[in-house]
Structure 1
């Protein structure tokens, strides 16, 4: 089926779908948060970020060394304002919502990194996101080579070799697999990772309507992926969107491999039954 997913109120997220290089990732993340928090105003969060940018800028007067820039960001954001990671954040959807990250001080590696990134961007520090295995990081180029910062661990700064060794130990992957994952990530990749975090959490907690909202966005960002259409069909069924589930699962059954056919058939039949009872 041809599935048209639109987000008329989400200008920046729509730019990401359209691969517009001018998309504002921070605002797109707030648009995701607004779907779970209807009526959310972005202004308080953006004003908080602007104030932190001014604080960091005043700390960097006359200093242009990249390591000094990262240390100033860490002192301001993790030190003065207490932004930090917590193991409990992995069980809380609000740890992915930027407005809640700045109000509670707690977030996931990727949401904390987005706050850091926006503060830095506001004053011309060219931080880049890194979709590293098991831990999202930030990267800043320097004359000594790239420097990496872990916003989840209070702004810990690592050089290339330190970061490679740590990620290899953390992921248990060989170094030649880890190295490419230390390259800067594109905005769509960052948003996809953030949405996947939310999707896994909502499914785990049985919050099917929230999972459906997130999966719609993932499918819009990755329109050619069979697994995203399949998951949207399965989650739509769980969320009670039986008409959509029937259409999507019917379409998936035309192209799925044998290992998935029985599961998809069962859910399709159940969705048809639920739809007929509703009508």
Structure 2
């Protein structure tokens, strides 16, 4: 039986469906999840939305109607009460509760935009994930966590300065920060957000699962081997931790934390492997 995660690893980026990949993330937590039912629900949203649009609607009108439909008519919103609730990263829960975090809401928004032939793209902006769409003469940047509102340049600069602890963000740096994210990077960021919530709750096994998926999706994400090694230590899987620390040091011998990771490797080597 083919492993869908390995299929994602080898897929070209444009062949990765954000909706399908996000539901695959959810299937780890909900093994019996009927992903097709949720894909059909989004298809139904797209049909309803298309029926509401005039045939001659331009891109700006279609984008405005999309936001109105998603955030006003359907009531999707950012979960400001419990931002790191894992349910905000599981797309089945997001679609059921109509609550999410910036990246999960962006995935719904981008998926619907694709159905309307709108070139909406994700942006791995510092802090909150955003979306952008090229328009004649520039781009429009939207915040899906706050009901898709448009962000102007001064606010984008303020956000970037705050997250990066920078005095000033010049035009070139801001343009770089607003570059579109690949689909692989978007799914990876979703998994990292999910892991952060599990780490905060000391759910080490689920945090490890997220890291396994990241490593499968992006085997060149070298720092993830260190992260996974640390999680293996939390679960007392010392042999697996040693393997990941060795791999990290082999791939990043000049890393700033190489000495600290070497010390972890030495310490884990002195401990007996956990019995199963």
Given the two structures, how large is their TM-score scaled by the length of structure 2? 0.86
Q: Which residue does 2:113 correspond to in 1?
A: 120
Q: Which residue does 1:274 correspond to in 2?
A: 273
Which 5+ residue runs of structure 2 have no aligned equivalent? Answer: none
Cα distance, 1:68 vs structure 2:
1.6
Contact kept, 8 Å, 1:129 with 1:138, in 2: the verdict is yes
TM-aligned CA distance change 1:170 to 1:153, over 3 Å: farther
Cα distance, 1:63 vs structure 2:
4.0
Q: Distance in 2 between matches of 1:230 and 1:158?
A: 36
Q: Distance in 2 between matches of 1:211 and 1:232?
A: 9
TM-aligned CA distance change 1:187 to 1:102, over 3 Å: same
From 180, 186, 191, give the equivalent of 1:184. 180
Q: Which residue does 2:235 correspond to in 1?
A: 239
Q: 1:114-142: per-residue Cα shift (whole Å, max 9, x none)? A: 01111111232221111111111111121
SS in 1 for 2:69: helix
TM-aligned CA distance change 1:247 to 1:144, over 3 Å: closer
Q: Distance in 1 between matches of 2:264 and 2:242?
A: 14
Which runs of structure 1 show a deviation greater than 6 angstroms over 4 or more consecutive aligned residues? none
TM-aligned CA distance change 1:274 to 1:94, over 3 Å: same
Q: Distance in 2 between matches of 1:166 and 1:60?
A: 35
Cα distance, 1:16 vs structure 2:
3.5
Q: 1:225-264: per-residue Cα shift (whole Å, max 9, x none)? A: 4421122122123235444234333545665722332233
SS in 1 for 2:150: strand
Q: Distance in 2 between matches of 1:187 and 1:149?
A: 18
From 203, 214, 217, give the equivalent of 1:218. 214
Contact kept, 8 Å, 1:150 with 1:157, in 2: the verdict is yes
Q: Which residue does 1:58 correspond to in 2?
A: 51
Cα distance, 1:41 vs structure 2:
0.9
Which 5+ residue runs of structure 1 have no aligned equivalent? Answer: 1-6
TM-aligned CA distance change 1:60 to 1:269, over 3 Å: farther
Mapped pair 1:105 → 2:108: no
Q: Distance in 1 between matches of 2:235 and 2:57?
A: 51
Q: Which residue does 1:259 correspond to in 2?
A: 260
SS in 2 for 1:95: helix
Higher mean alpha-carbon deviation, 215-224 vs 35-44, is at 215-224
Contact kept, 8 Å, 2:6 with 2:216, in 1: the verdict is no
TM-aligned CA distance change 1:88 to 1:242, over 3 Å: farther
SS in 1 for 2:127: coil
Q: Distance in 1 between matches of 2:216 and 2:3?
A: 15
Mapped pair 1:42 → 2:38: no
Q: Which residue does 2:169 correspond to in 1?
A: 175
From 229, 241, 246, give the equivalent of 2:225. 229
Given the two structures, how large is their TM-score scaled by the length of structure 1? 0.85
Contact kept, 8 Å, 1:148 with 1:157, in 2: the verdict is yes
